[in-house]
Chains A and B, each alone.
Chain A
Amino acid sequence: MKLKINGQEVEIDDAYGSGLLIWAIRDGAGLMGTKFGCGAGICGSCTVHIDGEAVRSCITPVQNVVDADIRTLEGLPNEDGMLHPVQQAFIEQQVPQCAWCMSGQMMSAAALLEQNENPTQEEIVEAMSENYCRCGCYFRIKSAVARAAEIKQEMA
């Protein structure tokens, strides 16, 4: 079967077709940027974009997204390989610790900035409030998402 991931048609073993999107992405397509955390759609580590919306891939059946545009962490940089403003800001502000949750954090942040170019602190907190970070990087996430909005506007 084929899935459209990061703008490309990706061939995936049919064995993944009846399962959940996260395993089609990770084990099927070999894209390990999408992380498994809870398998219940709670922690947010597995967040990807489906047609531009932030979605939990660990509870999304592959059958629901066969025609969709799927975007993962690997699809965040632009065509020239330049890191997405969110990635730049997270590195610049040294946000992560273990960084396992950061793919999901950055996908949530990137989705927010697609819909809201200049979010307030309250809007950032709201948008990021369903992504767990066990290392406790929240303090830096708040400022880095705001910084990412600035970088995005500078790059535009």
Chain B
Amino acid sequence: MTTSQEPKTKKRRWRVTRRGFLLGAGATAGTLAIGVLAGRRPFYRFLAGQLDNASAPGGPAEDPIAWFEISPDNDISIFINRVEMGQGVHTSMAQIGAEELGIDFEQLTVVQAGTQKGAEPAAVTGGSNTISSAYLPLRKAAAAMREMLIIQAAGMLGAPAADLEAVSATVRSKSDADQSLTYGEIVAATTEWPELQEEPVLKEASEFQIIGRSIPRVDFEAKLTGQPVYGYDLKTEGMLYGAVIRPPTIEATLLSVNAGSAAERDGVVEVVVDEELGFAGVVATTRAAAWTAVNSLDVEWDEGHLWSQEELDDMLDFDMLDGYVIQKEGNALRVIDGEPTLAAEYRTPMAVHAHLEPQAAMADFQDGKLKIWTSTQGQGTVKGQIVAVLGMEEADVEVVPTYLGGGFGRRLNANVALEAALLARAVGRPVHVGWTRQEEMRHGYVRPSTRSQLSAKLNNNRIEALSHRQASGEVAFPFFPGFLQAIFGTDFGAWRGSFNFYEGIPNRQLGAYLARMPIKTGWWRGLGLMSNIFATESFMDEMAHAAGVDPLEFRLAHLSDDPFSQRMRGVLEAAAERAGYGESLPEGRAFGVACGPDVDTVVAMISEISVDDDGFITVHKVTQAIDAGLFINPDGAKAQAQGSIIMGLSSTLIEELTVSEGRVVPNNFDRYPLLTIDRAPEIEIVLLESDLQPRGMGEPPMGPVAASVANALFNLTGKRIRQLPLTPERVRAA
């Protein structure tokens, strides 16, 4: 197994075959190429109907999300149109492909596809949907390729196809081991590939030898030996360094800019000003020179209103915002009738992504063509932005994604590649732009703050009615055209995670309220998931205590018997059993439980915590049970859960982004610290496979993190804290 980031083939044209996969035009030129046709997910199909087909998120419908190529030399590659940002999809997608292709995993080379090497890329990597959307299409395309090779080999060997089998990239006779051809030999001898007449037969799960195995990641050796595989690492002959002006406040607008004394500074090659775009930057021979010089540009800003945090908090006002009822069964408001058994309000703060590799891109503009290498989650989005702003032809812009030093949603919509492109075009030499941590802290977009009001009527120790009003800054809307916002009405990112899933509650209602904040808000790992589950699952505990029922039992009692509820019941019981829930703990410790679904993965979590006299919470152990259907790579799935738990705990215990006098307060980690290893708990992950359909793993495990810790804190101290993070100050004050 090797990996490569530089695609080695020319741009392909694809033809959709009757069997629902793509045949590469190169198939008649010495290489067999089969593309994986995933089609659009329903959401993107809907968007495509509203937009020009090709510019819809998700790209043209015939985009391959991956493709396989076999050369006459028996080199077998999978080109992947999804990026590797730590989630391990290059390994797990390769596993799925190798399984059906009839090869050993080690025989497959994994290549990151750029925008110019296949069909146009299907836009983005995010939303925990890479594996769930790629699983069947990858298998079908690989199986089709295997079948085509067997049919060709049958002709070459003069044996019936039924007597042949594909093993280790060789087609051989089942009865005579000497009768065999390598895939490369078959490809070399074939000039015309006939279409498959029958649907390729997929393996039974019981036959899997590669899917379901914890195969080591394909990208680690390069990463752990310091190979230049990330966007920030790019370097080429004659390359210069760029830096760009940034507004002083969250609402600033540019009034005027000119070079000032920047051009005379040491190392400065060019000062680039485009007033129309509101863009100005410096190109220099070193990064330090660029960063220093950009501060000496003569820039005038209108700082706008100097927002305070209190003003931002006040914007989440249910009386001032439009609300949409997005879930309604029975009539919760009538049952509660202004006299709830209990009611509570929860808040969560803004947060930054804090991926440790700051934004980075290298652009090279030569002979009217632009090539960009960048750590991005959306190579298609980057390309579209550059085509639009620079007024270039699609065919003249190529975007090659590198490995990403973290993504977490921040690299779905970023300007760094555009900045590098503008500077490179101005100087006619390759330019690298790498952001500073200060730029990351203050000039990206943030997870919006949320506010939830819940009220309930209990009757006979059960929930008879539950009403939830959820308010948030925007998440998905900032990236959609206005007419789509009107069609959707609500921002699915903002209320993600707040749907009530306890089918045993007869009357329930969820209203979503959306605020447009003066600070840029947007995608963050799980979108609103953890913030919203913090509210709903904290309140579930409050209701359990009000009813005098154990919180775990209370949850189980409100789950129904449908398949989804059974899966949720399964993870709750598995987590409780593994954690020893209900058994006695040492003095000063308590358990807290929470659960939640996301992208049809169900997760239950038990936290075991203690708290000292200063209000400092220690999370000793976290147990999560997760049912995500089939696990392609169990160890990789566990890694995703462990990571989600840590990132979630960092938000639960520490992270809070605030604004003061119009500025984001922290400009580095000194005022926005992250969770470190000394606060990292023991983590136990229980994987449950309820069926054979893989689902998402990148975000769901983060859902219940904050609620389970807050619930444990109540069980331990009787203190109910309804605002994140759970800092020592808040614990002491509660």
Contact A125 B678 (CB under 8 A): yes
Of the listed stretches B202-210, B354-362, B481-489, chain A binds B354-362
CB-based nearest A residue for B91: A94
B-contact bits for A108-140, CB 8 A (1 contact / 0 none): 000000000000000001101111111111111
Within 8 A of A (CB), among B391-442: 403-408, 434, 436-438
A-contact bits for B246-268, CB 8 A (1 contact / 0 none): 00000000000000000000010
The yes or no answer to B674 lying at the interface (CB within 8 A) is yes
Contact A134 B674 (CB under 8 A): yes
The yes or no answer to B79 lying at the interface (CB within 8 A) is no
Within 8 A of A (CB), among B264-292: 267, 285-289
Within 8 A of A (CB), among B667-691: 668-670, 673-678, 680-683
Closest chain-A Cβ to B291's Cβ sits at a distance in Å of 9
Within 8 A of B (CB), among A39-86: 39-40, 42-43, 45, 72-74, 77, 83
Of the listed stretches B216-224, B592-600, B602-610, chain A binds B216-224
Closest chain-A Cβ to B695's Cβ sits at a distance in Å of 19
Q: CB-CB < 8 A to A73: which residues of B?
A: 224-226
CB-based nearest B residue for A106: B224
The yes or no answer to B645 lying at the interface (CB within 8 A) is yes
Q: CB-CB < 8 A to A155: which residues of B?
A: none
Closest chain-A Cβ to B335's Cβ sits at a distance in Å of 42
Q: CB-CB < 8 A to A100: which residues of B?
A: 230, 355-357, 405-406
The yes or no answer to B703 lying at the interface (CB within 8 A) is no
Within 8 A of A (CB), among B500-519: none
Closest chain-A Cβ to B414's Cβ sits at a distance in Å of 16
The yes or no answer to B635 lying at the interface (CB within 8 A) is yes
Most buried by B among A31, A87, A96: A96
Q: CB-CB < 8 A to A36: which residues of B?
A: 232, 357-358, 434
Residue from B214, B224, B285, B289 within 8 A of A102 (CB atoms)? B224
The yes or no answer to A142 lying at the interface (CB within 8 A) is yes
CA distance A130 to B221 in the complex (A): 24
Closest chain-A Cβ to B644's Cβ sits at a distance in Å of 7
Contact B676 A130 (CB under 8 A): yes
Contact A132 B676 (CB under 8 A): yes
Contact B235 A43 (CB under 8 A): no
The yes or no answer to A141 lying at the interface (CB within 8 A) is yes
Closest chain-B Cβ to A26's Cβ sits at a distance in Å of 8
Q: CB-CB < 8 A to A156: which residues of B?
A: none
Within 8 A of A (CB), among B358-373: 358
Most buried by B among A26, A74, A83, A94: A94
CB-based nearest B residue for A26: B233
Contact B434 A138 (CB under 8 A): no
Closest chain-A Cβ to B435's Cβ sits at a distance in Å of 10
The yes or no answer to A11 lying at the interface (CB within 8 A) is no
CA distance A147 to B42 in the complex (A): 46
Contact B86 A96 (CB under 8 A): yes
Most buried by B among A96, A100, A125: A100
Contact A98 B405 (CB under 8 A): yes
A103-B226, A136-B646 known; A35-B86 Cβ under 8 A: no
Contact B405 A96 (CB under 8 A): no
Residue from A19, A30, A87 within 8 A of B286 (CB atoms)? A19
Closest chain-A Cβ to B505's Cβ sits at a distance in Å of 33
Contact B677 A128 (CB under 8 A): yes
Contact A74 B226 (CB under 8 A): yes
Q: CB-CB < 8 A to B286: which residues of A?
A: 15-16, 19, 23, 27
The yes or no answer to A1 lying at the interface (CB within 8 A) is no
The yes or no answer to A10 lying at the interface (CB within 8 A) is no
The yes or no answer to A32 lying at the interface (CB within 8 A) is yes
Total interface residues in chain B, CB < 8 Å: 67
CA distance A73 to B372 in the complex (A): 27
Contact B224 A87 (CB under 8 A): yes
Contact A134 B358 (CB under 8 A): no
Contact B86 A97 (CB under 8 A): yes
CA distance A148 to B217 in the complex (A): 19
Contact A45 B670 (CB under 8 A): no
Q: CB-CB < 8 A to B640: which residues of A?
A: 97
Residue from B230, B436, B642 within 8 A of A39 (CB atoms)? B436
CA distance A94 to B286 in the complex (A): 36
Contact B233 A20 (CB under 8 A): no
Q: CB-CB < 8 A to B650: which residues of A?
A: 136
Q: CB-CB < 8 A to B669: which residues of A?
A: 38, 40, 42-43, 132
Contact A132 B358 (CB under 8 A): no
CA distance A128 to B636 in the complex (A): 23
The yes or no answer to B228 lying at the interface (CB within 8 A) is yes
Q: CB-CB < 8 A to B57: which residues of A?
A: none
A35-B405, A103-B226, A136-B647 known; A19-B288 Cβ under 8 A: yes
CA distance A15 to B78 in the complex (A): 43
CB-based nearest B residue for A15: B286
Residue from B85, B355, B639 within 8 A of A137 (CB atoms)? B639
Q: CB-CB < 8 A to A16: which residues of B?
A: 286
Contact A137 B357 (CB under 8 A): no
Contact B288 A23 (CB under 8 A): yes
Contact B235 A32 (CB under 8 A): yes
Most buried by B among A16, A42, A74: A42
Residue from B288, B408, B674, B675 within 8 A of A20 (CB atoms)? B288
Closest chain-B Cβ to A56's Cβ sits at a distance in Å of 12
Contact A129 B676 (CB under 8 A): yes
Closest chain-B Cβ to A70's Cβ sits at a distance in Å of 14
A-contact bits for B229-242, CB 8 A (1 contact / 0 none): 01011010000010
The yes or no answer to B467 lying at the interface (CB within 8 A) is no
The yes or no answer to B643 lying at the interface (CB within 8 A) is yes
Contact A137 B642 (CB under 8 A): yes
Closest chain-B Cβ to A94's Cβ sits at a distance in Å of 6
CB-based nearest A residue for B358: A36
Contact B287 A136 (CB under 8 A): no
Q: CB-CB < 8 A to A102: which residues of B?
A: 223-224
Q: CB-CB < 8 A to A136: which residues of B?
A: 642-647, 650, 675, 680
CA distance A141 to B404 in the complex (A): 20
CA distance A30 to B237 in the complex (A): 12
Q: CB-CB < 8 A to A74: which residues of B?
A: 225-226
Q: CB-CB < 8 A to A101: which residues of B?
A: 356, 405
Which of B's residues lie within 8 Å of A, judged by CB?
85-88, 214, 216-217, 219-221, 223-228, 230, 232-233, 235, 241, 267, 285-289, 353-358, 403-408, 434, 436-438, 635-636, 639-640, 642-647, 650, 668-670, 673-678, 680-683
Question: What are 6 A-B contacts with C-beta separation under 8 Å?
Answer: A32-B233, A33-B225, A37-B356, A98-B86, A132-B669, A137-B646
Top 8 closest A-B pairs, CB basis? A33-B226, A136-B646, A100-B405, A98-B86, A97-B86, A138-B680, A136-B643, A99-B223
**With A15-B285, A97-B640, A129-B677 already in contact, 8 other A-B pairs whose C-beta atoms are closer than 8 Å:** A39-B436, A40-B668, A72-B226, A74-B225, A129-B676, A133-B356, A138-B677, A142-B680
